[in-house]
Chains A and B, each alone.
Chain A
């Protein structure tokens, strides 16, 4: 029997897109602009980690990176964790993924293993330049435009030689809009919407890729990974196609559309200034069927997204979660913790609370000891140019933020197992 109360859900997840970058470019992105205007917008949404792997594991599980165990890129989400697509599939949703996923390591053109019950239908591709044999986009491109494919990839993929020559980067960046990765994502999602069942609700996850590296290499070895404007425009157009397909869909079930990014801009991740707003503040907006466009300024985290989606799907929230539904009656958390634990870029922790932000670059307790601090008043200094931690007049404010960071870290420990007895 059809249950029209459970909505369809479309989730657009950008691979690396800072909130401020999207704001800056919104004037050339009509679909995103229209969608954002009709949505509930969380204007201070943070990723718990500036690296894609940990950030996505958090986005899909609702757990902090310290709890799900994916502490840096290249670490696989442990098999015993549950993602929200798994829970939705098991509850009767038809679930699709098209594009990037990144819940396990993908270097050396490695194909990601899927999880039990994860997707009813999956067309996985880490990015347009990721040469796994299972890259669904490249298989589509080869079939759709063999000549274009052969021009970019004249040779067989070699997992031990994964450096893409500059001319091939350029060729892929210049590919026709209709052959682009993000167009493909939108087209496949659109096709699935057109063919959707009228009895079961669906969830479609569009894994857009807009970073310059295009799934070939992360930002570490190139000069950062700025957002590719053209790829973003192609994603915007694809999202427009998806919205249009929804309007034409045969089922009159309500559809919720969610736009977010796993992490902010990847450029600068290897610089001395870790955990900048550009790196960890991400777009997050939700278009609900009933409208209700509004802007929520309180800080939230992308770990709150999985519980939000489960609530939309009218599923009970699992015990093992740390995020809170953004649609709950309570006020949003009002704080967000983000941590980088990269072997290459060092360890840093950041706390946003109110208009204050503290970034700690952790010291080596055996060497010179002390951590270094950056303290910003984001209202007065949104560009994070004026480090108040070195100003003695703010010593008490700095200590207060250190106290709150200690408490926030404590709040994010793994206490998900229920207490079932007194002792």
Chain B
């Protein structure tokens, strides 16, 4: 086997809660993301990548199974991934890949400090930590911190871990102590340290690796090491995107999402002063600067080990963050681009032109198809997405013209349960707030023209002038819902 024909390594770097527009190269001129910008300049930058769900578990389940949320069955945080779901890492491991996961996985419940149930995931290395404040004894970040920085660990966690305090991080208005530790003790640093160790692990040439490196940043609580906060000028960050009386034109639950986050269990936008919002926005980009710094170290190690040329590097995030826009924080049933559009960079030297920019609508379910395509593995019947490699390499004549995202009371539950569905097509975005028989909520909707209104401030859903567009988008949604059903079981006989 010649070196050129070797199967590529796969390095998937995934952050948590990072908006699509949060990088310098995606429009945030105030962001300090030199390493990610450089990565984008060396590969393809996808500017319209949508996740299939705006919260962690269901979005990640779509990534690992390649299925839409309606099909993989993990429709909400706190629901275990049903049996009989195949993870792409299992397929890669079966094909001889050395697979590992470092950081947050979240494919089964982690509430009340519980240890995540291991899936049939194919990982040789599984260094798991649901988050920096998660007090499971199996939290590998804490095990590392206890050894690497015993004084910091003892100061942060003097007690044995209080079970009733499981939503400690969600309730914090600003960063918690563990978010602000010096970078050498930080969760994001730990992810990079362990990722570098995995990358440098001696391997036979015929055994490529697949590493899923899952950062917790820039997930709230909004806090970062001072060294990185110092890199961000709060003055250069624009005020949140909204307009006067915006909530009056939106479906009623938007107001509740503004008053309180996480269905009433976490502080809401309206509980913050303008200065506090300004500061958490700065902290958000400080976390991103920290992630960028740590990603830079990982990519340097990859370069140094001589593997960069034959490694597919993908950077993305599981969903976005409202960050004060539309007078809201965190995430929930809202399907604004704030939550559904994520960064996506794919670098694969010799296969993807440096500096490529892709504006087609792509989806997170396409990532496992891409990994499997690059590895030479068959996609398998379960994966519903399509490989992005042809798009990245110059185009695809029949690429799908829509993106779908489905919220199914996926975050903290409410009564009545909230379900929303987003369909993006051309410049239009339809968001359905479902009613009976799906839920007992009030049926409503949103319609945005992203060409004229990229900030999604003007809801055209009830505007008589747009009745035709609204109806056309609903018809397309019916077609897309049919298109995305699971027809993976083989038709082994004619009848």
Q: Which residues of A approach B to under 8 Å, CB–CB? A: 52-53, 66, 69-76, 78, 80, 104-108, 110, 217-218, 220, 333, 335, 339, 341, 343, 347, 349, 360, 362-366, 369-371, 395, 399, 402-411, 413-423
Please determine whether B491 and A405 come into contact, CB atoms closer than 8 angstroms: no
Known: A406-B421, A406-B474, A417-B73. A105 touches B493 (CB 8 A): yes
Please determine whether A423 and B495 come into contact, CB atoms closer than 8 angstroms: no
Q: How far is the CA of A220 from the CA of B109 in the complex (A)?
A: 47
Residues of B near A333 (CB, < 8 A) are 437
B27 adjacent to chain A (CB < 8 Å): no
Pick the most buried of B82, B400, B413, B478: most chain A CB atoms within 10 A of its CB.
B478
A-contacting 9-mer, from B9-17, B110-118, B383-391? B110-118
Chain B binding site: helix, strand, loop or mixed by DSSP? loop
Cross-interface CB contact of A415 among B73, B110, B112, cutoff 8 Å: B73
A71: shortest Cβ distance to chain B, in Å? 4
Residues of A near B435 (CB, < 8 A) are 403, 407
Residues of A near B472 (CB, < 8 A) are 370
Known: A365-B483, A416-B73, A423-B56. A106 touches B437 (CB 8 A): no
Range, interface on chain B: 35 or more
B170 nearest CB neighbor, chain A only: A423
**A-B complex: 10 closest residue pairs judged by Cβ atoms:** A105-B493, A421-B109, A421-B111, A421-B78, A107-B494, A410-B438, A423-B77, A413-B70, A74-B493, A73-B495
Residues of A near B434 (CB, < 8 A) are 406-407, 410
Q: How far is the CA of A363 from the CA of B479 in the complex (A)?
A: 6
Known: A80-B84, A341-B487, A410-B438. A362 touches B111 (CB 8 A): no
A65: shortest Cβ distance to chain B, in Å? 9
B485 adjacent to chain A (CB < 8 Å): yes
Please determine whether A402 and B474 come into contact, CB atoms closer than 8 angstroms: yes
B71 adjacent to chain A (CB < 8 Å): yes
Q: How far is the CA of A107 from the CA of B110 in the complex (A)?
A: 47
Q: A69-B486, A108-B494, A365-B483 are in contact. List 20 more A-B contacts (CB 8 A).
A: A53-B495, A73-B491, A74-B492, A104-B493, A220-B495, A333-B437, A339-B482, A341-B487, A362-B479, A370-B475, A402-B471, A406-B477, A408-B437, A410-B438, A416-B82, A417-B73, A420-B109, A421-B112, A421-B114, A423-B77
B158 adjacent to chain A (CB < 8 Å): no
Please determine whether A415 and B408 come into contact, CB atoms closer than 8 angstroms: yes
Q: How far is the CA of A420 from the CA of B112 in the complex (A)?
A: 11
A416 nearest CB neighbor, chain B only: B73
Cross-interface CB contact of A360 among B436, B478, B495, cutoff 8 Å: B478
B407: shortest Cβ distance to chain A, in Å? 11
B485 nearest CB neighbor, chain A only: A66
Pick the most buried of B74, B438, B476, B490: most chain A CB atoms within 10 A of its CB.
B438
B245 adjacent to chain A (CB < 8 Å): no
Please determine whether B421 and A75 come into contact, CB atoms closer than 8 angstroms: no
Please determine whether B492 and A105 come into contact, CB atoms closer than 8 angstroms: yes
Please determine whether A417 and B74 come into contact, CB atoms closer than 8 angstroms: yes
A58: shortest Cβ distance to chain B, in Å? 14
A324: shortest Cβ distance to chain B, in Å? 11
Please determine whether A218 and B495 come into contact, CB atoms closer than 8 angstroms: yes
Cross-interface CB contact of B491 among A75, A403, A406, cutoff 8 Å: A75
Residues of A near B478 (CB, < 8 A) are 349, 360, 362, 371, 402, 405-406, 409
Residues of A near B76 (CB, < 8 A) are 419
Please determine whether B489 and A75 come into contact, CB atoms closer than 8 angstroms: yes
Please determine whether A371 and B73 come into contact, CB atoms closer than 8 angstroms: no
17 A-B residue pairs with Cβ-Cβ distance under 8 Å, sorted by A, are: A70-B489, A71-B486, A73-B494, A74-B493, A74-B494, A80-B84, A104-B492, A105-B494, A110-B493, A217-B495, A218-B495, A339-B482, A366-B400, A402-B474, A410-B438, A421-B111, A422-B77
Residues of A near B477 (CB, < 8 A) are 406
Chain B 434-457 interface 0/1 with A at a Cβ cutoff of 8 Å (1 = within): 111110000100000000000000
A162 nearest CB neighbor, chain B only: B494
B57 adjacent to chain A (CB < 8 Å): yes
Please determine whether B57 and A423 come into contact, CB atoms closer than 8 angstroms: yes
Chain B 8-26 interface 0/1 with A at a Cβ cutoff of 8 Å (1 = within): 0000000000000000000
Pick the most buried of B74, B75, B83, B485: most chain A CB atoms within 10 A of its CB.
B485
B401 adjacent to chain A (CB < 8 Å): yes
Please determine whether B474 and A72 come into contact, CB atoms closer than 8 angstroms: no
Q: How far is the CA of A411 from the CA of B398 in the complex (A)?
A: 31
B412 adjacent to chain A (CB < 8 Å): yes
Please determine whether B485 and A341 come into contact, CB atoms closer than 8 angstroms: yes
Please determine whether B84 and A423 come into contact, CB atoms closer than 8 angstroms: no
Residues of B near A217 (CB, < 8 A) are 495
Q: How far is the CA of A69 from the CA of B402 in the complex (A)?
A: 24
Q: How far is the CA of A71 from the CA of B483 in the complex (A)?
A: 12
Please determine whether A71 and B437 come into contact, CB atoms closer than 8 angstroms: no
Q: How far is the CA of A70 from the CA of B167 in the complex (A)?
A: 41
Chain B 62-103 interface 0/1 with A at a Cβ cutoff of 8 Å (1 = within): 000000011101111111101110000000000000000000
Cross-interface CB contact of B490 among A52, A75, A395, cutoff 8 Å: A75
Cross-interface CB contact of A107 among B70, B408, B421, B495, cutoff 8 Å: B495
Residues of B near A105 (CB, < 8 A) are 491-495
Please determine whether B84 and A78 come into contact, CB atoms closer than 8 angstroms: yes
Chain B 452-484 interface 0/1 with A at a Cβ cutoff of 8 Å (1 = within): 000000000000000000011011111111110
B432 adjacent to chain A (CB < 8 Å): yes
Known: A365-B401, A406-B421. A420 touches B79 (CB 8 A): yes
Q: How far is the CA of A155 from the CA of B417 in the complex (A)?
A: 62
Q: How far is the CA of A110 from the CA of B491 in the complex (A)?
A: 13
Cross-interface CB contact of B437 among A73, A78, A107, A407, cutoff 8 Å: A407
B419 adjacent to chain A (CB < 8 Å): yes
Q: How far is the CA of A296 from the CA of B75 in the complex (A)?
A: 34
A343: shortest Cβ distance to chain B, in Å? 7
Please determine whether A369 and B476 come into contact, CB atoms closer than 8 angstroms: yes
Please determine whether B412 and A422 come into contact, CB atoms closer than 8 angstroms: yes
B110 nearest CB neighbor, chain A only: A423
Residues of A near B491 (CB, < 8 A) are 72-75, 105, 343
Residues of A near B109 (CB, < 8 A) are 420-421, 423
Residues of A near B114 (CB, < 8 A) are 421
Residues of A near B481 (CB, < 8 A) are 406, 409
Residues of B near A110 (CB, < 8 A) are 493
